[in-house]
Structure 1
Amino acid sequence: MGRDGTDNGASFRTLPKAEVHVHLEGCFRPDTLENWAKQAGVPMPRPREQLFAFNSLADMLEFLDWACGLASTRERLAEMAYGFCQHLAADGTGYADLIINPTHWAAWRGRTRELIDALDAGFTAAAQDGLPPVGLCISLLRTQTAAESVELVEDLITWRHPRVVALSVDGNEATAGRTGPRFAEAYRRAADAGLRRTVHAGESSGPEGVRDAVELLGAERIDHGVRAIEDEGVVALLAERGIPLGVCPTSNLTLNLYPSIEAHPIEQLRKAGVKVSVNTDDPSLLLTNLPSEYELAATAFGWSDETLRDIARTSIDASFANADVKAHLKSALARWQS
């Protein structure tokens, strides 16, 4: 739903597509949180209708700590995973790479494998019911140490959990400073072990963060990446290497990176030869969905059906879905008519 409560982007639901930049922490449903809070006997921070009405970044972060703290049982995590797949189906999304940062989930600290297993149970049940498949991108927090990053990667390599498709890193680059060198060894080990790699960069950092993600971390995909537009050399690097960006228009506007969708660089990047996809980032918190994100950009930049197909194809190609899922989505995309 859009910010005004209307069902935006309905015509884009039929577009076969994947989502490659979405955080589980940004997908809580108000009714679910209300039920969990009642069961736990803890107060809601505000009424359900205004649960996502944040007055500051600090307010939002405090809320996330509260919400993640409620997901304290295997059953609740499985419920959340199943609900995420229902959300994908409602958006007409055929697959998602879902980012989760274990540091946010206090009840599961030191139990990352159990956290993954609990989510996997929900995703497996959803797939058995015909809902879209999901891969997990396990994310480092940008303020973690080099040793902590290596420890997580070694765990992921040891576990070889089939639900885990990639290593990620997220968090505020503006406050953490340059972190590419700190995580280079962890990303090198991930690459050597065949684990896919995606990196948040070029949002709270400038184009130098994107260059570090490519040259120091070997990123196969950049989450955000839009500030690459500030450096022609970085734009050329992305285009030459075919490294796709997982762009989230509403998120960028909400955080005041750009004053309007017309000022957003997604179209400039696309025309410069950079592969771009459209994503939601934190759909519940931002009161958006994937069809609405497509509609926002398509309306602003006059995207034709051919352009929409190219962007949807990028979302599929850029995903870490298996070959069968990609082939199915591409076949459906070839038949799509708006």
Structure 2
Amino acid sequence: MTSYQTVPKAELHCHIEGAATPSLVRRLAEQKGIDVSPIIDQNGKYIWSDFTTFLKAYDLASSVFKTPADYSLLTETYFRMLAAEGAIYGEVFISPDHAQAAGLSYRSYVEGLAAGIERAKADTGIEGRMIAIGVRHFGSASVERVVREVIGNPHPLVTGFGLAGDEREGHPANFAKAFRMAAEAGLGITAHAGEFGGPDSVIAALEFLRVKRIGHGVRAIEDENLVRRLADERVVLEVCPGSNMALGVYSVLRFHPVNLLRRAGVRLTLNSDDPPFFNTTLGKEYTSVAKTFGWSLEDQLDITRTAIEAAFCDDGTRQRLLVRLESAKHA
């Protein structure tokens, strides 16, 4: 029988710069003469105390990635870690704005990231894809610029477009054009909502951005009609319980609405968001949620199945992943 450790997993919500381990950041920082001691403690853990200091730590850690080779090392390291925990598929958010800050062209950034994903796949069999994100607090012109860059430089592993950044800034209506452009170009679309913003932010993302996937979305639980709508319209929530607790959205896991949402028929997935910052991993998310809410092996396989069905990948890849999932069930 499949054990907890070997439950095949899939991840749809992880920011690649936020997946950099402190040891990798420290190693690259030493090479480049960047001082990261303010954000990494003696035990090799990230230091931050609230959302503002988390963003500062995140930006400083991200600043050590300067070249395509740095980025390929980052993706290879992360996808190998995912595979070691039994993941068969992973999508990562990539940030063209971070690449620009590092002085890299979008194309060389993506090529670096793709090389690492391909190396991890060659060794472990894990499939990977990328979702380019616009940052909402940079404004609609910036987000539209990112979409144009993605569409103008197509890459087979960049299959989605998303919206991240401060949910409390910029109404989704401002980004409707960017999302229309992305959808028309054949990219999968998703948007962060219902994390720091309440149910209204989820409704606005559905109405104005026409997404079928929502990053987080958990505060939908505060609106009964919205929960029903999510279930009826088969919208998939990319739920990140460890992240929500680390950032104080919920105090402890047993108060987290992941189980209530699932029982109400909402389709959802489990994800790690920015794993080393929140002291979590994808494996930890599966295990802790299963233990806290008494989810069976079948429940966990169902979470992975939902993720594969909602993945921004081609149908051939999706079918292969579903076959791998089924065969694990009978192992």
TM-score of the aligned structures, taking structure 2 as reference length: 0.93
Match of residue 36 from structure 2: 44
- Aligned partners of 2:330, 2:18: CA distance in 1, in Å? 31
1:27 alignment partner AA: A
Match of residue 113 from structure 1: 107
Aligned residue pair count: 327
- Aligned partners of 1:107, 1:155: CA distance in 2, in Å? 15
Q: Which residue of 7, 12, 27 maps to 1:15?
A: 7
Q: Cα 1:16–1:329, aligned 2, differ >3 Å: closer, same or farther?
A: farther
Q: Considering only aligned residues, what root-mean-square deviation do their CA atoms show, in Å?
A: 1.9
Question: Residue 143 of structure 1: SS of its match in structure 2?
Answer: helix
User: Structure 1 residue runs of 4+, over 4 Å off?
Assistant: none
Q: Which residue of 250, 270, 276 maps to 1:258?
A: 250
User: Does the 8 Å contact 2:36/2:60 carry over to 1?
Assistant: no
Match of residue 209 from structure 2: 217
Q: Cα 1:71–1:202, aligned 2, differ >3 Å: closer, same or farther?
A: same
Match of residue 205 from structure 1: 197
Once the two structures are TM-superposed, the CA of residue 124 in structure 1 deviates from its matched residue by: 2.1
- Identify which of structures 1 and 2 has the higher relative contact order when contacts are C-alpha pairs closer than 8 Å and 6+ apart: 1
The alignment status of 1:135 with 2:129, answered yes or no, reads yes
Once the two structures are TM-superposed, the CA of residue 183 in structure 1 deviates from its matched residue by: 0.3
Which stretch shows the higher mean deviation, 300-309 or 197-206? 300-309
| Structure 1: 5+ residue stretches without partners | 1-9
- Aligned partners of 1:228, 1:157: CA distance in 2, in Å? 32
- The residue correspondences of 1:1-338 to structure 2 (distance < 5 A) are 11-45=3-37, 46-47=40-41, 49-105=43-99, 107-109=101-103, 111-174=105-168, 176=169, 178-335=170-327, 336=329
TM-score of the aligned structures, taking structure 1 as reference length: 0.91
Q: Cα 1:47–1:53, aligned 2, differ >3 Å: closer, same or farther?
A: closer
The one-character-per-residue Cα deviations of 1:257-315 (angstroms, maximum 9, x if unpaired) are 12221111111111111101111111111111112111111112111233222212111
Q: Cα 1:223–1:126, aligned 2, differ >3 Å: closer, same or farther?
A: same
- Aligned partners of 1:91, 1:129: CA distance in 2, in Å? 14
| Structure 2: 5+ residue stretches without partners | none
The one-character-per-residue Cα deviations of 1:51-110 (angstroms, maximum 9, x if unpaired) are 413233333222222221111112111111111111111111111110122223454357
Match of residue 3 from structure 1: none
User: Does the 8 Å contact 2:227/2:261 carry over to 1?
Assistant: yes
Once the two structures are TM-superposed, the CA of residue 207 in structure 1 deviates from its matched residue by: 0.8
Which stretch shows the higher mean deviation, 26-35 or 71-80? 26-35
The one-character-per-residue Cα deviations of 1:206-247 (angstroms, maximum 9, x if unpaired) are 111111111110112111000011111211221111111010
User: Does the 8 Å contact 2:36/2:61 carry over to 1?
Assistant: no
Q: Cα 1:145–1:102, aligned 2, differ >3 Å: closer, same or farther?
A: same
Once the two structures are TM-superposed, the CA of residue 31 in structure 1 deviates from its matched residue by: 2.0
User: Does the 8 Å contact 2:18/2:62 carry over to 1?
Assistant: no
Identity %: 35
The one-character-per-residue Cα deviations of 1:17-59 (angstroms, maximum 9, x if unpaired) are 2100111121112222221121112323244524413233333
1:199 alignment partner AA: A
- Aligned partners of 1:12, 1:281: CA distance in 2, in Å? 21
2:282 alignment partner AA: L
